[in-house]
Structure 1
Amino acid sequence: MTEQDAKAKMRLAPDLIYRGAQGSLITNVLGGIANAITMGLQGIFTGLTSGFSSIAGSVKPIVDGQLSLDSRIDLLSPLLDYGAVTMPDGQPFTGTGKLPFSVQIGPMRNVEKSGTDGLKLLDAGLWDIRLHAQASWVAAQSARCEVDLVVTAPDGSEFSRQSSIDVREATANLVNPISNSGEHVHTIVSTVVVPAAGYTVHAHVVANAPTRRFYGGPRWSRLVAQHISREVNGNWADGSGTSDTA
């Protein structure tokens, strides 16, 4: 046995021990890292799953609250309530009585035509009412022309009245000695507070010369109702109190 053989024999046992320990170390280290990574990923996925489950459990169905308000018309602005009528053209009104406001102008909401001569209010509260009526001239002395805006209760009784009077004195001149030539325009802007639906609004010609005519059509005649408020309490001045005599 040579010296080299002896040295090889002597190194054999330590080499075997070292290689075994090295392999065991690599196996344990890599295995531990792999296990750690695996456990970490499992923890992450478990946490995410748990988190999603918690979130899903806390989220409730989204329901629009307006779906339960379909019948709550009281929540809408009363300013949307509106109605307008005019007198038919080609049929000028003469004499006295209710002006025939029977032709609807545009859409109506919570207002409807009252027969052939006015408007019916379909809700309570404060209403703004406007009247425009154009009358022709007549050849007469001191011809009085009076038009009243009248609000009537559902039972037919008078609830409120506002008047417009126009008197044109005849003027003596060489061209037209007894001519009341001025045309009469009656414009009434009024308010009324009604306690319930069903009140009607009409325009009454109280005084008129026999030959004077009131023109029809939207250009010359309009009766308009606009809802302002549903409030009925308070000191409203609706024109139903005592007034002077003209």
Structure 2
Amino acid sequence: MQYFNLTGQTAVVTGAGRGLGQAMAVGLAEAGADVALLQRSSAGLETRERIQALGRRCEIVPCDLSDMQQVKGALNQVDALFGKIDILVNNGGIQRRAPAVDFSEQDWDDVLDVNLKSVFLLCQEAGRRMIRGGRGKIINIASLLSFQGGITVPAYAAAKGGVMQLTKALSNEWAGLGINVNAIAPGYMDTDMNTALKHNETRSRQIMERIPAERWGRAEDMVGAVIYLASPASDYVHGHVLAVDGGWLGR
């Protein structure tokens, strides 16, 4: 199990106040990592308490992912608190739904800024540090809509397609420098972001009919994948997008 041991590592996780981000942050701590939570508000208090209860260090670093100046400076604060960054998990994101003909420019900009631009900037800032240290793990959270177009979510699909391609592009540049850049593509997860889908009887039925595992995903389904990609077990895995989708993409 030493291949999955993260003792002594510092992980940075965005959007860890609840749902998938919280499960992954706590999972990394269970594997031994100390964790910095990049949060817009005090939403990460419960996550911090759970991590500290494991005997790991956890700090909340205020960061609004829609404010690029805050994004650019956030890792400086992590450096000041922890002294290093070994793992970056870009999980934070937003969703806006509307038919494409009605989708506003503001909604487009908001989604692309939070779900793609902030991901690039955090990867860039982390990458500079990891290149100097000769090692590091970057894990971006992609989506099934990195592969498919979805319905009434054009900005989200565009952003998550971009996250997948960004992951591959950065891997091409940094793999030879000891940095692993990979992504996880969650399937249909039972989280707040998908509440509208869960309550749409027709769409919910259609989704369930296509999932071979015959259930929606749960936040804890992400934990094994993120520990794997953050650990020495994945040292020769580069530019990969790992689907955690109950078999959706294989149907």
Larger relative contact order (Cα-Cα within 8 Å, sequence gap ≥ 6): 1
Do both proteins adopt the same fold according to a TM-score greater than 0.5, normalized to the shorter chain?
no
Band the TM-score falls in, shorter-chain normalisation: under 0.3
The structure whose residues are more often helix, as a share, is 2
With the length of structure 2 as denominator, give the TM-score of the two structures.
0.19
TM-score, normalization by structure 1: 0.20
